[in-house]
Amino acid sequence: MERSDFIRRIAGRLGREPLTIAPERDVTGPPDFYIESPYGEDVDVDRVDRFVTELKALGGETIVVPDNAGAASALRSLFDQLRPSSIITWDRSEFSGWDQDWLWDERGAVSWRLSGEKNHGSEGSPAVVAPDSTETASIAPSLGDLKKAAQGADIGITLADYAVANTGTLALITSPGRARSVSLLPTTHIALLRESQIVDRMGQVLDTFNTWTLSEVPSSIHFISGPSRSSDIENDLTIGVHGPVAVYVVLVRGV
Amino acid sequence: MAHSTTKSKFIDRAAIAQGDDFLVNAVKFTTDRLRNRKSDSSTAFGNWEEWRERGRAIRAHTIAHLDYYLDQFAQNAASRGAYVHFANDTAEAQKIVLEIARKNKAKVVAKSKSMVSEEVHINHVLEDEGLECLETDLGEWIVQLAHETPSHIIIPAIHKTRGQIQVLFEKEGGEKLTDDTKTLAGFARRALRRKFELADIGMTGCNFGIAQTGSVVTFSNEGNARMVTTLPKTHIVMMGMERVIPNWDDLEVMTNLLPRSATGQKITVYVSALSGPRREDEIDGPEETHIIILDNGRSEQLGDPEFQDVLNCIRCGACLNVCPVYRQVGGHSYGSVYPGPIGAVITPLLQQDKKQWGELAYASTLCGACFEACPVKIPLHDMLVHLRRRYVEQNYTPLPEKLAFKGYAAAFSNAGAYKVAMKTGRWMQLKVLGNAVPESEMAKVTPVHGWTKYRTLPENGGKSFRDIWSSIAAEEVESPRTNETDGSENDFGA
């Protein structure tokens, strides 16, 4: 059926011609009381504490560190614990300001990016096969390679664009350097986060989307709250059905 | 359209369900759990009534201006590179999906949960075409392996035991498993990962379409909706035309209402907003996105003051968990994709065969618990009454019922006939049916057997109010009430 006929029929059922200008609204978005006090009236909350508590309740873990060096040690100790054979991550340039070059140089982290250098570590060969990035950008990478790589990745490292304190949620916005697979396919997802990126409620993240022009709208946005879960077998909670089994956030306080 | 799963009657399907002890207990356990979790989380959130009212206002405004918002959604989605299709009915929706599958030479379709895809029988159509069509939501996959249909909107496989699931999985994987949740879920993860890798097409539903940017928003806990929109080359979105909301700010309201109402969660693990296919220089995500917008009888509810609000539904399933009928009979009894009170309303509305499906409006006690549970305040109990009225007006009720109501009308419109009817009724209870005792043998052959089988009639004193009215009136004259002079109203302390 044609779009115009479809829309015209809807308008006809509503007893008029299709509207061409935006209708007036009495209310939009959440009620004022929530915007004014997102944690409830007279409740004062430390955003970092709240985020840590909420994520913990969902089975995720936050490691609070004072600076980039602290973030590096937190990652190293996670690696010691998890013993990953493969680490995938976003484009190296996305991590500027984070001082984590060792991830690529020492640990052979693989950046998932369509074009540009492969970012392989200098020593040891990563278990993950990076999609062939020498092809021209207009040709899609081999999906087969990509999917094979997906099976082997133990850890995916990302950067959160925002975090929401009152639900323990990370917000990740996809872009060429920030592939969506990295937060989804590996067994463990580790996100780096700065305190200044934490907001009280989801609406404060959504507000920032209002400034986008249509051409700036990203292909995907992911709000992630803890590890994958299901209660489909006799109402019994199980963690890690399709998405990551574990979610860690390395949070730098004070920046 | 036809999204029926059976031609039998509600009462027969309910009888089958009632005979399954595991099902009866599982439905009770699950609905109690979900209901209590919703109650706890909405109480903890606070101001729940204000949130419901805000949710209602946003949905009602959108539906009242659906032409504008749907058009805006479609145009913006197209501007982000999505192909937007409009399907008038089941046949059109099937045709569009098949064309996309053929064009892409697809062999495997991996689906995350989509009720609209079930409404238009996508799995059957694709399987008939020789494609493998795979449900990837854990519960939906279990149900698919068992060749059954979902029994609950949110937890599709509540009727399956872990033992049954173990058998299904062992057969599927050809390996020995145990029946603990971890092992079973681990098997599903491994088996479905291989399938995600093979799938040419990923299919999802759409929880909300953001008109402002043409974005499709999905809510999921397992991550399968993300899987099928990350790995396959083509993404097909199946959405009912009423799924849109105006903007991102409104999404915050829906995010606060939907997971709490469905499972008592503050938010689902994943909330993803997808706007068209992957951009040119991105490495993953679909290369092609198709959005199929389905009418299938929905537009007929627009402009109808009795039923337009049913399009406000956000498919949380809260009405199922509180419904005294659903809680007894489970989802399969409704014979349709949409069970519970919401199903009892929309199935008769969307189906062409009003006579067959109209009976679902009677699968209700009209207690109104569904309305109270609804996060967008749809007056489902009123709609059920409207549906029953239409059913009667269409002359679909059986002859004995028609005769009974004719007799009822005759008796109540004439004082003499009323008196006779009351006397007869009293006599029937005392002499035939049983007075304050379980039904008599004779009652079993009367037309009211359906009632007396389960209910004991209250004690009948043998005299009617009319019989004793004259003596009451005489007493009243002899002893007038005098308590207005005893000063009791002033006993509040000085």
B351-389: b (≥16 Cβ within 10 Å) or e: beeeebbbbbbbbbeeebbbbebbbbbbbbbbbbebbbe
Helix (H) or strand (E) holding A63: strand A61-65
Q: How confident is the model at residue B197 (pLDDT cuts 50, 70, 90)?
A: confident
Q: CB distance from A24 to chain B under 8 Å?
A: no
Which of A14, A222, A238 has the CB atom closest to B64's CB atom?
A: A14
- % residues pLDDT > 70 (chain B): 95
- Give residue B255's Cα distance to chain centre: 19
- Cβ of A241 within 8 Å of Cβ of B222? The answer is yes
Query: Which pLDDT score, from 0 to 100, does residue B493 have?
Result: 43
* A29 in any annotated domain: no
pLDDT of B56 above 80: yes
pLDDT of A121 above 50: no
- B234 forms beta bridges with B201, B288
Q: How confident is the model at residue A146 (pLDDT cuts 50, 70, 90)?
A: low
- For residue A9, the chain B residue with the least C-alpha distance is B299
Q: Are B69 and B211 in contact (CB under 8 A)?
A: yes
Query: Which pLDDT score, from 0 to 100, does residue A250 have?
Result: 98
Which of A1, A137, A206 has the CB atom closest to B252's CB atom?
A: A206
- Pairing label, strands B108-111, B201-204: parallel
* A3 in any annotated domain: no
ipTM (interface predicted TM)? 0.90
Q: What is the C-alpha to C-alpha distance for residues B137 and A122, in angstroms, rounded to an integer?
A: 41
- Pairing label, strands A188-194, A246-252: parallel
* A23 in any annotated domain: no
Secondary structure (DSSP) of B227-271:
HTTTSSSEEEEEEETT-EES-HHHHHHHHHHHHHHHHS-SS-SEE
Q: What is the C-alpha to C-alpha distance for residues B39 and B50, in angstroms, rounded to an integer?
A: 15
* Chain B residues within an 8 Å CB radius of A140: 287
Q: What is the C-alpha to C-alpha distance for residues A193 and A52, in angstroms, rounded to an integer?
A: 12
* A40 in any annotated domain: no
Q: Are B41 and B260 in contact (CB under 8 A)?
A: yes
CA distance B392 to chain A (A): 25
Which of A30, A138, A217 has the CB atom closest to B253's CB atom?
A: A30
- Cβ of B193 within 8 Å of Cβ of A15? The answer is no
* Chain B residues within an 8 Å CB radius of A27: 54, 57-58
* Mean pLDDT taken over chain B: 91
Query: Which pLDDT score, from 0 to 100, does residue B72 have?
Result: 98
Query: Which pLDDT score, from 0 to 100, does residue B407 have?
Result: 87
Secondary structure (DSSP) of B183-226:
HHHHHHHHHHHHHHHH-SEEEE--SEEETTTTEEEEEESSSHHH
* A180 in any annotated domain: yes
Chain A from 81 to 140: CB within 8 A of any B CB: 112-115, 131, 137-138, 140
Distances in whole angstroms, Cα of residue A85 to Cα of each of A90, A221, A233, B252 = 17, 28, 31, 39
How many helical (H) and strand (E) elements, i.e. helices and strands, does chain A have?
7, 12
Q: What is the C-alpha to C-alpha distance for residues B247 and A206, in angstroms, rounded to an integer?
A: 9
- Give residue A196's Cα distance to chain centre: 16
- Cβ of A3 within 8 Å of Cβ of B71? The answer is yes
Query: Which pLDDT score, from 0 to 100, does residue B421 have?
Result: 86
Q: How confident is the model at residue B400 (pLDDT cuts 50, 70, 90)?
A: confident
* Chain A residues within an 8 Å CB radius of B256: 30
Q: Specify the long-range contacts of residues B90-96, CB closer than 8 Å, at least 24 apart.
A: B90/B1, B90/B2, B90/B3, B90/B119, B90/B120, B90/B121, B90/B296, B92/A1, B93/B120, B93/B122, B93/B238, B93/B292, B93/B294, B93/B296, B94/B120, B94/B121, B94/B122, B94/B125, B96/B290, B96/B292
pLDDT of B156 above 80: yes
Query: Which pLDDT score, from 0 to 100, does residue A116 have?
Result: 43
DSSP label of B433: I
Burial class (CB in 10 A: 0-12, 13-18, 19+), B283: buried
Sequence-separated (6 or more) residues with CB below 8 Å from residue B125: B94, B97, B98
**How many Cβ atoms sit within 10 Å of the Cβ of residue B56?**
18
Sequence-separated (6 or more) residues with CB below 8 Å from residue B31: B320, B321, B322, B326, B327
- Pairing label, strands A61-65, A246-252: parallel
Q: CB distance from A200 to chain B under 8 Å?
A: no
Among the listed residues B50, B48, B253, the one whose alpha carbon sits nearest the alpha carbon of residue A30: B253
* A207 in any annotated domain: yes
User: What is the phi/psi pair of residue A124, to 5°?
Assistant: 70, 150
* A178 in any annotated domain: yes
Q: What is the C-alpha to C-alpha distance for residues A88 and A112, in angstroms, rounded to an integer?
A: 7
* A2 in any annotated domain: no
Q: Are A251 and A64 in contact (CB under 8 A)?
A: yes
- Cβ of B283 within 8 Å of Cβ of A22? The answer is no
* Chain A residues within an 8 Å CB radius of B193: 150-151, 242
Q: What is the C-alpha to C-alpha distance for residues B95 and B72, in angstroms, rounded to an integer?
A: 25
- Give residue A39's Cα distance to chain centre: 24
Give the mutation candidate from B61, B217, B269, B275 for the A interface (greatest A CB count, under 10 A): B269
Q: Three-state DSSP class for B172?
A: helix
- Cβ of B302 within 8 Å of Cβ of A217? The answer is no
pLDDT tens, A191-239? 999 999 999 999 999 999 999 999 999 999 999 999 999 999 999 999 9
* Chain A residues within an 8 Å CB radius of B79: 214
Chain A from 56 to 75: CB within 8 A of any B CB: 58
Sequence-separated (6 or more) residues with CB below 8 Å from residue A139: none
Average pLDDT over every residue of B378-407: 91
Query: Which pLDDT score, from 0 to 100, does residue A37 have?
Result: 92
Which of B266, B282, B284 has the CB atom closest to A167's CB atom?
A: B266
Q: How confident is the model at residue B153 (pLDDT cuts 50, 70, 90)?
A: confident
Number of domains in chain A: 1
- For residue A207, the chain B residue with the least C-alpha distance is B249
- Cβ of B66 within 8 Å of Cβ of A174? The answer is no
Enter the tokens of residue A29. Answer: 């978005």
The CATH number covering residue A163 comes to: 3.40.50.10420
Q: CB distance from A143 to chain B under 8 Å?
A: yes
Enter the tokens of residue B389. Answer: 């009225």
* Chain B residues within an 8 Å CB radius of A180: 226, 230, 284-285
User: 């140089």: which residue's tokens?
Assistant: A105
pLDDT of B2 above 50: no
Which of B54, B138, B181 has the CB atom closest to A31's CB atom?
A: B54
Ordered domains of chain B (ranges, CATH): 47-300 (3.40.50.10420), 400-478 (no CATH)
| Residue A203 belongs to domain spanning | 47-252
